[in-house]
Structure 1
Amino acid sequence: MESTIYDTPEHQTLREQVARFLAREVEPHADAWERQGFVPREVLRRMGQAGLLGLAFEGEHGGGDADALTNLVFAEALSQSTYAGFVITVLVHTDMAGPHLHHAGNAAQKARHLPRVCAGEAICAVAITEPGAGSDVAGIRTRAVRDGDQWVINGTKMFITNGVHADLYFVAAKTGPGKREVSMFIVEKGTPGFSVGRALHKTGWLSSDTAELVFDNVRVPAANLLGEEGKGFYAVMQNFQTERIALGAMAVGHCQRALQLTLDHVRQRQAFGGPLWDQQTIRQRLSMLDAKVRAARQFMYHCAWNVTQGRDIVQQVSMLKALTGELVNEVVQTCQQFHGGMGFIRETAIERLWRDARVLAIGGGATEVMLEEVAKRY
């Protein structure tokens, strides 16, 4: 990967560390994870031992005290893997679920849970999406009612990544009559009334477990309220910025890897009396796609830099999510086309990237929703 104007020597060291981990711990084994439908816990523990699961979290609890740029470097480097199910398993833990505890947790909650999160001993999931509410967070129907020194949660969540195998779930529930009166709660695996309704079978991200979750009179202590009562909607909106930058990084990383795989392929594949690279249309299409990816990557790093400056960048991050979610599908589909019949064979890297890329224009904020977020801020 080319350096950016925001890079430091530490960033390059981190990229190299992640690349070594992928080569040693992921790539040789990930086909088996695709077949079994989840990433083994010991792999995540080894990531924790390597200091890779809590870069953005507090040092006093085992984290790395890193800024948004360093966190982006990690997400982009991780996304050089062609096994997106593994990548999203990690990024949900580090960038989509874990930040709820990091940003809103009180001292006791952090002291209890964050060391295990950073060590990979407790895997996280965030439970917001429901059968009737995805990007429309205010439309959730799961409800929590205060009963003495407990909260009682009832409802169903859908499409929850890490839903089967997580230990800690950060759950959004309505706690008042207002449309945005949502609160967040910590629910631990094994809590009575809390169950996995079913594991969901997806087109892509095969090594990422995804589940429907059921809350049937689930009682949690009042101390499990995460952040302020009734302010969970705004916590979710805040955390969406971290999540969407991570998803942008995932898209850009997959674009980079797909282009490299395809450049290698067309230089070697013989057709019409020479390598495919000799065909002008192929050279030009790949060149234009590379230009688009490089431009998107610089915008992505600029967004992360703005986060380090404390700026409100909801509009820019919404642009980034929409742009990269569409771009990765354009890049990967074109790269698959240039692989010919081999691009349609299961378990080839380009076919896997093609399957896995599709959801990046949907999950974490569909393209259409993101563009409305952009438009309303003009």
Structure 2
Amino acid sequence: MRRTIFDDEHDDFRDAVKTFIAREVVPHHERWREDRLVSRDMWLAAGRQGLLGISIPAEHGGAGTEDFRFNAVLTEELARAGLALASSVGIHTDVVAPYLVECTTEEQRGRWLPGFCSGEIVTAIGMTEPGAGSDLASMRTTARRDGDGWVLNGSKTFITNGTAADLVVVAARTGSGPREITLFAIEEGVEGFTRGRKLHKVGQPEADTAELFFEDVHLGGEQVVGELHGGFTTMMRHLPQERLHSACANIAHAAGALEQTLEYAKERQAFGQAIGTFQHSRFLLAELVTEIEVTQTFIDRCVAEYVTGTLPDVETAKAKWWSAQVQNRVIDACVQLHGGYGYMDEYPVARAWADARVTKIWAGSNEIMKEVIGRSLGLGQARRVS
């Protein structure tokens, strides 16, 4: 089905992103998987290409656009090249960027945003903790007052870009209330800030993921991002964009795997004919193509309404959970159609299968997304029966 949300500028940008990927990603991708880290050269090249500062004001080195369709184009093309690339870059451009643009002082923006756009400053966000997961109100990392500053203690885990990040936006409890949370910007090299081991994941090895530890980290007031005790509200306000980013990546990633599988089904011979000619294969591929196109249409509608500011937050929860379900279902079917070869790591579909599994967990688990949707229907939480 023809997509209608993009105009000529977006199409030209997509061509530029494809060229960038062919030149700066494809030749090095295998090494990044082995190193479990996207090289700094990629970040710097992306900065030179103008890919990192889409939403950053022009006076700080960015493009200064609020048109999320450009973000969607970048996310889609990176996801097709490898979901981990969309993950790493998306944390920087779609998740951290709004905090640094909307919640910072002019001095902070001048200090961090030029490097953010150039790729000299790679960013991450520290929300998830070992015992909290999607439950942000249960976080245990704390920041206590120390004169005019703060002392930060705690830990974060499953942090994408955790190894490479030069700047991490960290959420910490600053009061006794469940939502008294404040955001802090922690820069590389500050005393007491250490990184744990680079975590071994089932998929997406090139998206470096790490544990972060904070032991008596002394911070000045200039490290506070946004309002004191306002972090919970701020995070809730920005989660919809993260979920929409995830939805864009999920469906593009699945579509790429399906396109590869369609070609495989035309070429792979079994019992003297192409496997795509068997009725079961034709019917299955027909189902998968339809699922992808229907889901893409819904996500496109979400993107279009997000650009105009008319998209209800609950729709991003629907887009996130449904796209993750479709993505995993489609890619699992693609592995099955590849037979034994689909389970070999050298085949892109096998890697796509492993890479996709986490999308039902991160950016708020799919169960949490259903909870958000259910509450929007006027269905409150069940009362505990003693």
Q: One fold, TM greater than 0.5? A: yes
- Please list every run of at least 4 consecutive aligned residues from structure 1 whose deviation after the TM superposition is greater than 6 angstroms: none
Aligned to 2:299: 300
1:128-150 per-position Cα deviation (integer Å, ceiling 9, x unaligned):
00001111111111001121221
- Whole-angstrom CA distance in 2 between matches of 1:128 and 1:121: 23
Deviations 1:143-199 (A, max 9, x none): 011212211100010100111110000000011111011110000011000000222
**CA distance in structure 2 between the partners assigned to 1:348 and 1:270 by the alignment:** 17
- Counterpart CA distance in 2 for 1:312 and 1:100 is 20
Tell me which residue corresponds to 1:32. 31
The structural deviation recorded for 1:70 is 2.0
| Gaps in structure 1 of 5+ consecutive residues | none
3-state secondary structure, aligned to 1:159: strand
Q: Deviations over 1:180-229 (max 9, x none)?
A: 11110000011000000222111111001111111001011111100001
TM-score (norm 1): 0.97
Q: What does residue 198 of structure 2 align with?
A: 199
State the secondary structure of the residue aligned to 2:165: coil
Cα shift at 1:312: 5.1
What is the CA–CA distance in structure 1 between the aligned matches of 2:77 and 2:35, rounded to whole Å?
25
Tell me by how many angstroms 1:3 deviates.
4.8
Describe the SS at the equivalent of 1:6. coil
Aligned-residue RMSD, C-alpha:
1.2
Instruction: Report the Cα distance in structure 2 between the residues aligned to 1:289 and 1:106, rounded to whole angstroms.
Output: 48
- In structure 2, what is the Cα distance between the partners aligned to 1:280 and 1:112? 61
Give the conservation status (yes or no) of the 8 Å contact 2:60–2:109: yes
| Alignment correspondent of 2:77 | 77
How far apart in 2 are the matches of 1:214 and 1:247?
27
Q: Deviations over 1:263-304 (max 9, x none)?
A: 100000011221111111111111111111111112112112
- Report the AA paired with residue 4 of structure 2: I
2:228 corresponds to: 229
Letter in 2 for 1:336: V
1:358 and 2:354 correspond = no
Instruction: Provide the secondary structure at the position in 1 that maps to 2:80.
Output: coil
Q: Which residue is equivalent to 1:253?
A: 252
Q: Secondary structure at the match of 1:360?
A: helix
Provide the TM-score with structure 2 as the length reference. Answer: 0.95
Distance in 1 (CA, whole Å) between partners of 2:171 and 2:30 is 34
Taking the TM superposition and a 5 Å limit, the aligned residue runs for 1:359-378 are: 359-378=358-377
Equivalent position SS for 1:79: helix
d(CA) in 1 for partners of 2:46 and 2:263? 30
Partner Cα separation in structure 2 for residue 10 and residue 77 of structure 1: 16
Q: Give the AA of the match of 2:199.
A: L
> How far apart are residue 73 of structure 1 and its match?
1.9
Quote the Cα distance in structure 2 between the aligned partners of 1:331 and 1:233.
35
In 1, the alpha carbon distance for the partners of 2:91 and 2:35 equals: 19
Whether the 8 Å CA contact 1:72–1:301 is kept in 2: the answer is: no
Cα contact 1:69–1:301 (8 A) shared by 2: no
Preserved CA contact (<8 Å) 1:267 1:276:
yes
Deviates more, 1:344-353 or 1:84-93: 84-93
Amino acid in structure 2 at the alignment position of 1:227: G
Q: Is the 8 A contact 1:55 1:64 kept in 2?
A: yes
Q: How does 1:323-334 map to 2 (within 5 A)?
A: 323-334=322-333
2:183 corresponding residue in structure 1:
184
Superposed, 1:45-56 pairs within 5 Å as 45-56=44-55
Whole-Å Cα distance in 2 between the matches of residues 289 and 103 of structure 1? 40
Please list, as runs of the form range in 1=range in 2, the aligned pairs for 1:1-378 lying within 5 A after superposition.
3-66=2-65, 67-81=67-81, 83-311=82-310, 313-378=312-377
Task: Say whether the 8 Å CA contact 2:78–2:85 is kept in structure 1.
Answer: no
SS of the residue 2:245 aligns to: helix
Code of the aligned partner of 2:75 = A
In 1, Cα distance between equivalents of 2:74 and 2:30: 23
Identity %: 38
**How many residue pairs get matched?**
376
Q: Distance in 1 between matches of 2:343 and 2:143?
A: 47
- Superposed CA offset, 1:214-261 (max 9, x none): 100101111110000111011111221111111111111111101110
Q: Offset of 1:122 from its aligned partner?
A: 0.2
- The code of the aligned residue for 1:292 comes to E
Give SS of 2:38's match.
coil
User: How far apart are residue 322 of structure 1 and its match?
Assistant: 0.5
Inter-partner Cα distance in structure 1 for 2:84 and 2:78? 11
Q: Which amino acid aligns with 1:52?
A: L
1:314 deviates by: 1.4
AA aligned opposite 1:89? S
Distance 2:309 2:193 in 1: 38
CA distance in 2, matches of 1:140, 1:3: 44
- Kept in 2: contact 1:31–1:347 (CA 8 A): no
**Consecutive unaligned residues in structure 2, runs of 5 or more:** 378-386
Alpha-carbon contact 1:77-1:253 (below 8 Å) kept:
yes
Is contact 2:18-2:77 (8 Å) kept? yes
Could you tell me how far apart the structure 2 residues matched to 1:313 and 1:43 are? Answer: 35
